[in-house]
Structure 1
Amino acid sequence: MSSYLGFGGIGLHVIVAIFFAVHAVRTHQNMYWLLLLFIFPGLGSIVYFFAIYLPSLRQTRGARAAGRAIRQIVDPNRAVREARDAFDRAPTVDARMRLGAALLDADNPAEALGHYQAAANGPFASDPALLLGLGRAQFATGQYTDARQTLERLFDVNPISREQSDSTLLYARTLAALGSESTRAAFEQALTNASDVAARCLFADWLMKQPDAADRERAKALYAEIVHDARHWPRHAREHNREWLQRAQAALG
């Protein structure tokens, strides 16, 4: 009796196997997983869970964000410490960039900038990841003119970065800090490339500071879009966009 707890007399282990089979098809797993799940639904489901399903959960944005948050609470200096140890063992450009990124995430942009500048003086000076990290560090330390030059160089050597969310949003924020006439167009481009609501919120923040009443009305509309869309976000999206949602709510409130 206990083996038939599913719907319509279907065994629970069969229902679980069907669930994993759907996951296997959607994620384009090897067909032998389907054979394993349907020939041995109980054992196959256990194997699939640990071999495929659980690792895939850990790779989702929400899982990564949650993992980072937990690590930050339990051991806030771990990422920097590990990156520094790796750089001490092998001071390669990759290790230096990893340390720079960890320092930026730990709100230590001044030290991060030193590492990125050192890396930029070597043969990898045109590496897109290096240029983006350097631009982030320059922006975070208030060196907006340098950040603009770095990001424009990034766009030149890696044209696809003009269509990527991180680089285009950072460029728009840099132009805004410089009071550039190109700020509006840069934010519009960032909106087109956006992977989350940060671009909408930051563009709205900029629009609210403009003298034209139409700009302020559009800013309110962007804030309202964020609050409205948040009603339909899954949990990981709400966590990822929490700062921007709170800012939008405060602006409307």
Structure 2
Amino acid sequence: MSYFGIGLHVLVAIYFAIHAVRTNQGMYWLFILFVFPLLGSVVYLFAIYLPSLRHSHGARVATQAISQFVDPNRALREARADFDRAPTVQHRMRLGDALLAAGNPREALEHFQAAANGPFATDPALLLGLARSQFALGDYPSADATLSNLFSVNPQARNQGEPALLYARTLAALNAPGTRAAFEQALTCAGDVAPRCLFADWLATQPDSADHQRAGSLYAEIVQDAKHWPRHAREHNREWLERSQAALASGVGRS
């Protein structure tokens, strides 16, 4: 066991030494890593290696996940403190977003409604937050009206992933004409696989067998694409992948 431990320390030190050479760190790190492989590796990890990952996408996702696990209420606590200290519209909107993320759409709605009564009533971010809150509370007619207002003051929002998908989901919840076209639009500006999965969910509820076939194809695309996702993409899209796998297992899309 002791031999394995010594070997592992040396392997870690070699890994960090390679990193030091490739990133042009001082040559003294090689001396530290090989003379004191265990202590040197620990110091290098915190002094050089982790900071070098700070700006990578994977590191940001991991940091956010760890922060959420260790202190899940931090963002909400900080947003509430900022609003209590300075109740500006920006702080109110930030608090509303934090409340939505924390699963409290009712209080979020109160803040977005209060902000919508002022000079920022047509602010696109405010209108999107208001619509998200209304949708989360099941007030789909109000969400539809708010999104229509958003698209009126900011037509570009129709080509943005989040509002486009929210609009499609709202029309689907209302069983309204235009749902199919709204989902197709959401697919064209998607930043992840959520629109594909949600569109497939809607197609699977339609009476036409062709829609069931398309739903199965969309689910299958997600499962196939997932084989090539990096780890952070797999974590980000875990819910949609699992839903797609479950739908395929249930027979959706089979002739």
Q: Name the TM-score class by shorter chain.
A: 0.7 to 0.9
Cα pair 1:13 1:42 within 8 Å, conserved: no
C-alpha offsets along residues 49-70 of structure 1, whole Å, 9 cap, x if unaligned? 689843312xx2x433332322
Gaps of 5+ in 1: 1-5, 18-36
Give the alignment's Cα RMSD to 1 decimal: 2.5
Equivalent-residue separation in structure 1 for 2:186 and 2:179 (angstroms) = 10
1:55 paired to 2:51:
no
Give the percent of matched residue pairs that are identical in Structure 1 and Structure 2: 65
Cα pair 1:132 1:154 within 8 Å, conserved: yes
Distance change in 2, residues 1:70/1:50 (3 Å): closer
- Structure 2 SS opposite 1:56: coil
C-alpha offsets along residues 70-104 of structure 1, whole Å, 9 cap, x if unaligned? 22222222111111111000000010001000000
Q: What's the offset of the Cα at 1:42?
A: 4.9
1:83 paired to 2:79:
yes
Distance change in 2, residues 1:55/1:68 (3 Å): closer
Partner in structure 1 of residue 93 of structure 2: 97
Counterpart mapping for 1:1-253 below 5 A: 12=18, 16-17=22-23, 42=27, 53-57=52-56, 60=57, 62-253=58-249
Distance change in 2, residues 1:71/1:13 (3 Å): closer
Normalized against structure 1, the TM-score is what?
0.80
Letter in 1 for 2:177: E
- Structure 1 SS opposite 2:55: helix
Distance change in 2, residues 1:85/1:187 (3 Å): same
C-alpha offsets along residues 198-232 of structure 1, whole Å, 9 cap, x if unaligned? 00000000000000000001000000000000000
Equivalent-residue separation in structure 2 for 1:113 and 1:63 (angstroms) = 32
Equivalent pairs, count: 220
Equivalent-residue separation in structure 2 for 1:201 and 1:55 (angstroms) = 31
Distance change in 2, residues 1:63/1:145 (3 Å): farther
Partner in structure 2 of residue 22 of structure 1: none
Distance change in 2, residues 1:87/1:233 (3 Å): same
